Amino acid sequence: MTGLRISELASRSGVPVRTLRYYETIGLVRPQRDPNGYRRYGSDDVERLGFVAGAKRLGLRLDEIAELLALRTDGCAAVRDRLEAVVAARLAESRRSIVELEGFEKELVRLAGALEATTAPAECGDGCGCPDHPVGDVVPCSLTGSEFDDRADEWRHVVTAAIESREVADGWVLRFCADPALASRIAALAVAEQRCCPFFAFRIEVRDVVELTVSVPGEARDAVTAMFAFEASGTGSGSAASK
């Protein structure tokens, strides 16, 4: 059987082996298996990876990309019709994120000005310039109704893209494939979440993967467990996964 081995495709495409295995589990690539059980990737898989890369640059989610790839069998018109709707939704999300980030910037500028203009008193209190809600105070989420449902849905889409999730002492650590568009989306979502739920703390690190650490005080832990605790959609283990 001809075709590229997974290491060869990773070298040619720049997509890590682990990511290629994950892409297979969600249907973005469809390698064949040779008689020895090794994956073999054809020209169609190379083309599909190019489509995935282009769609990711537009900020599309992997589930949306998988849907578009499935529509290719129905012709370009079907793909374009669905893409138009997806891009419109992503554009609306981007505009909301810009508004939220601008609001966050204004709050930081206000706080920086207050800190510069005042002298620290002996103890924190009203008018000292420190944030209104000290660490440890749980402030109820300010979202209501459909806003809360929309935010929860955004987090579900992000969290289910994680390749690993583990619970730690004060929250969760989630790891994602190294995807700049996804990292940007996570950052914007974390900023928006901090504005409505200031008891959350987020840390994002980008190395060979994107790692999101979510910290939450114990009093609020049960309320958000369902949002971040899940079975990771990772790539599996064992000898078959190494081929």
Are 79 and 171 contained in the same domain? Answer: no
**CATH assignment of the domain containing 55:** 1.10.1660.10
Are 223 and 152 contained in the same domain? Answer: yes
Are 150 and 64 contained in the same domain? Answer: no
The verdict on residue 81 lying in a domain is yes
- Average pLDDT score, the chain: 79
The verdict on residue 207 lying in a domain is yes
Give per-residue pLDDT as tens, 57-92.
887 888 889 999 999 889 999 999 999 998 888 888
- Write b or e for each residue in 209-228: b if 16 or more Cβ atoms lie within 10 A of its Cβ, otherwise e: bbbbebebeeebeeebeebb
The verdict on residue 115 lying in a domain is no
**Tokens representing 55?**
């769609």
Q: What is the residue-wise DSSP string for 16-49? A: -HHHHHHHHHTTS---EE-TTS-EEB-HHHHHHH
Q: What is the pTM of this model?
A: 0.52
The verdict on residue 41 lying in a domain is yes
Q: Is 153 helix (H, G, I), strand (E, B) or coil?
A: helix
Q: Find where tokens 């209190």 sit.
A: 125
pLDDT at 242: 45
Are 75 and 16 contained in the same domain? Answer: yes
The verdict on residue 237 lying in a domain is yes
Are 152 and 212 contained in the same domain? Answer: yes
The verdict on residue 178 lying in a domain is yes
Give per-residue pLDDT as tens, 132-174.
544 444 455 666 667 777 777 788 778 888 888 888 877 888 8
Mean pLDDT within 100-106: 76
The verdict on residue 101 lying in a domain is no
Instruction: Say how many domains are in the chain.
Output: 2
Structural domain span for residue 16: 6-85
Element (DSSP H or E) covering residue 167:
strand 164-168
